[in-house]
């Protein structure tokens, strides 16, 4: 399978995958090119909904700028790309590569992507600022967000079992207070750090957070900088291989952090049929990967190689086992009900409330989300009905 994938990668390079290259931790400026012209309908020719409110689609060729990251939520997109699934749907993909949610939100401000996937924390801030919507669930994102210490750290020396609700966590408030933490702020890593601090009655005001992307944070930590280092894949595997100790992680808390499939405000308003066509491909690929963990891991391994962040097969498998994708029925279940009252809305409001508690959004933002849901469930409901007419 990996040989087949590798051959397919060569064939697909001309179709947009060059956006990744070796730029593993910084968004590619060259990749953020505007969508190519096509004969598809313009915004002025937006398809009207059918009498029953469903979106009317066609098979005209379209080009979509698709936001991707080197994480599990982008793997269904990559799988669809290398297996010709977008071609079958007459969709040309221009992949837009980003190292994290903050960079992707910056690109959203410039209108540089149409659809894609993102993490729960930047989804809140990005949706508030730029109006994009959540249209499907990606995968859970709790376990991969972790904080590491050196073996001789006093946090490690304090041992586990100090926090009753999180017995696997190392240290207590006294051990953590005053520590310098290298962390990629504005991402799920910061969300995880804050959630772990909260279990000890601490906030970021009790530690010193130094902004660094994960790759640079690990390099600085290896060079002796910082007391603690927040890492995700693939850097956390290097940290563990070098003997650093995982002292906390988001899955040790009660917080739920999703990744989601998103669509820009422009696409939602002017090209809902394009959004639907993209989502149907994503869900088809996600269904395949949800039923085959080995295939998911092989594809993720190949995607990491393409992004310039290679990991070994065992680490790829472990990462995917922690980030299992839901099948289509389970994905749909997050979106049952009216927008504003779905389980997905509840999860995202929980993330938003956490951001409020830590001073990153205002009460007015929570009020706005309550009145203007981040979720648009119409796309997954119609996509599921068309993909699974049997119900």
Is residue 268 pLDDT above 90, yes or no?
Answer: yes
Which contacts of 35-41 are long-range, i.e. CB under 8 A and separated by 24 or more positions? 35/63, 35/64, 35/65, 35/94, 35/114, 36/63, 36/92, 36/94, 37/63, 38/62, 38/63, 38/92, 40/274, 41/271
What is residue 22's predicted lDDT score, i.e. its pLDDT?
38
Residue 17 banded pLDDT, cuts 50, 70, 90: very low
What is residue 360's predicted lDDT score, i.e. its pLDDT?
85
Is residue 7 pLDDT above 70, yes or no?
Answer: no
Calculate mean pLDDT across residues 203-222: 96
Is residue 54 pLDDT above 60, yes or no?
Answer: yes
Specify the higher pLDDT residue, 219 or 100: 219
- Could you report the per-residue pLDDT of 172-189, keeping only the tens digit for each? 999 999 999 999 987 789
- For the chain, the farthest-separated pair of C-alpha atoms sits apart, in whole angstroms, at 67
Is residue 14 pLDDT above 50, yes or no?
Answer: no
Which pairing describes strands 228-231 and 180-183: parallel, antiparallel, or unpaired? parallel
Q: Which pair of tokens denotes residue 288?
A: 């395949």
What is residue 46's predicted lDDT score, i.e. its pLDDT?
52
Is residue 256 pLDDT above 60, yes or no?
Answer: yes
What is residue 241's predicted lDDT score, i.e. its pLDDT?
93
- C-beta separation of 260 from 118 below 8 A: yes
Calculate mean pLDDT across residues 39-57: 58
Domain annotation for the chain: domains and CATH numbers: 2-140+257-387 (3.40.190.10), 146-252 (3.40.190.10)
Is residue 323 pLDDT above 80, yes or no?
Answer: yes
Count of alpha carbons within 13 angstroms of residue 266, beta-carbon side: 13
What is residue 24's predicted lDDT score, i.e. its pLDDT?
37
CA-to-CA dists, residue 228 to 203, 207, 221, 223, 358, angstroms: 15, 10, 8, 13, 20
What is residue 58's predicted lDDT score, i.e. its pLDDT?
83
Least confident of 14-18, 304-308, 362-366: 14-18
Angle 231-236-239 (CA atoms, 0-180°, nearest 5)? 110
Rounded distance between C-alpha atoms, residue 264 and residue 4, angstroms = 34
Is residue 121 pLDDT above 90, yes or no?
Answer: no
Place of tokens 């963990």: 293
CA dihedral 346, 347, 350, 354 (to 10 degrees): -160
C-beta atoms surrounding 390 within 10 Å:
3
Residue 288 banded pLDDT, cuts 50, 70, 90: very high
- Could you report the per-residue pLDDT of 344-389, keeping only the tens digit for each? 999 999 999 988 987 889 999 999 999 999 999 999 999 999 999 9
C-alpha dihedral sign at 56, 58, 64, 70? positive
Residue 84 banded pLDDT, cuts 50, 70, 90: very high
> How are strands ordered across the β-sheet holding 180-183?
208-211, 180-183, 228-231, 146-149, 245-249
Q: Is 139 helix (H, G, I), strand (E, B) or coil?
A: strand
What is residue 52's predicted lDDT score, i.e. its pLDDT?
65
Is residue 44 pLDDT above 70, yes or no?
Answer: no
Residue 35 banded pLDDT, cuts 50, 70, 90: very low
Is residue 45 pLDDT above 60, yes or no?
Answer: no
Percentage of the chain surpassing pLDDT 70? 86
Residue 56 banded pLDDT, cuts 50, 70, 90: confident
What is residue 21's predicted lDDT score, i.e. its pLDDT?
39
DSSP one-letter code for 172: -
pTM: 0.77
Least confident of 5-19, 213-227, 338-352, 360-374: 5-19
What is residue 57's predicted lDDT score, i.e. its pLDDT?
81
What is residue 102's predicted lDDT score, i.e. its pLDDT?
85
Rounded distance between C-alpha atoms, residue 97 and residue 93, angstroms = 12
What is residue 48's predicted lDDT score, i.e. its pLDDT?
56
Specify the higher pLDDT residue, 100 or 244: 244
What is residue 49's predicted lDDT score, i.e. its pLDDT?
57
Is residue 236 pLDDT above 80, yes or no?
Answer: yes
Is residue 118 pLDDT above 50, yes or no?
Answer: yes
Calculate mean pLDDT across residues 12-28: 39
């Amino acid at each position: 399978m990996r040989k087949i994938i590798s051959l397919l990668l060569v064939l697909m390079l001309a179709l947009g995958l060059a956006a990744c290259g070796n730029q593993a931790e910084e968004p590619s400026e060259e990749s953020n090119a505007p969508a190519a012209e096509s004969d598809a309908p313009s915004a002025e020719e937006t398809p009207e909904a059918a009498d029953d409110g469903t979106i009317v689609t066609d098979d005209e060729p379209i080009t979509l700028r698709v936001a991707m990251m080197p994480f599990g939520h982008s793997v269904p997109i990559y799988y669809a790309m290398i297996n010709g699934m977008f071609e079958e749907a007459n969709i040309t993909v221009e992949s837009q590569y980003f190292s994290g949610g903050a960079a992707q939100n910056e690109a959203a401000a410039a209108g540089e992507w149409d659809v894609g996937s993102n993490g729960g924390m930047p989804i809140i801030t990005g949706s508030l600022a730029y109006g994009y919507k959540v249209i499907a669930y990606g995968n859970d994102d709790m376990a991969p967000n972790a904080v590491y210490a050196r073996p001789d750290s006093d946090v490690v020396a304090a041992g586990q079992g100090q926090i009753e609700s999180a017995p696997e966590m190392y240290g207590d408030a006294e051990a953590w207070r005053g520590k310098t933490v290298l962390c990629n702020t504005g991402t799920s890593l910061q969300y995880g750090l804050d959630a772990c601090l909260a279990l000890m009655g601490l906030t970021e005001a009790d530690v010193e957070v130094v902004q660094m992307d994960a790759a640079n944070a690990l390099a600085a930590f290896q060079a002796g900088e910082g007391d603690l280092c927040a890492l995700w894949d693939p850097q956390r595997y290097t940290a563990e291989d070098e003997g650093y100790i995982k002292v906390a992680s988001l899955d040790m808390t009660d917080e739920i952090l999703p990744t989601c499939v998103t669509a820009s405000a422009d696409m939602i308003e002017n090209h809902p049929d394009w959004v639907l066509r993209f989502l149907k491909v994503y869900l088809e690929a996600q269904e395949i990967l949800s039923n085959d963990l080995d295939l998911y891991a092989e594809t993720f391994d190949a995607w990491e190689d393409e992004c310039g962040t290679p990991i070994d097969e065992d680490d790829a498998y472990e990462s995917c086992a922690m980030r299992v994708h839901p099948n289509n029925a389970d994905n749909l279940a997050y979106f049952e009900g009216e927008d504003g009252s779905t389980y997905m809305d509840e999860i995202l409001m929980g993330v938003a409330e956490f951001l409020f508690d830590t001073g990153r959004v205002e009460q007015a933002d929570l009020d706005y989300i309550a009145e203007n849901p981040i979720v648009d469930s119409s796309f997954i409901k119609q996509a599921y009905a068309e993909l699974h007419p049997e119900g």
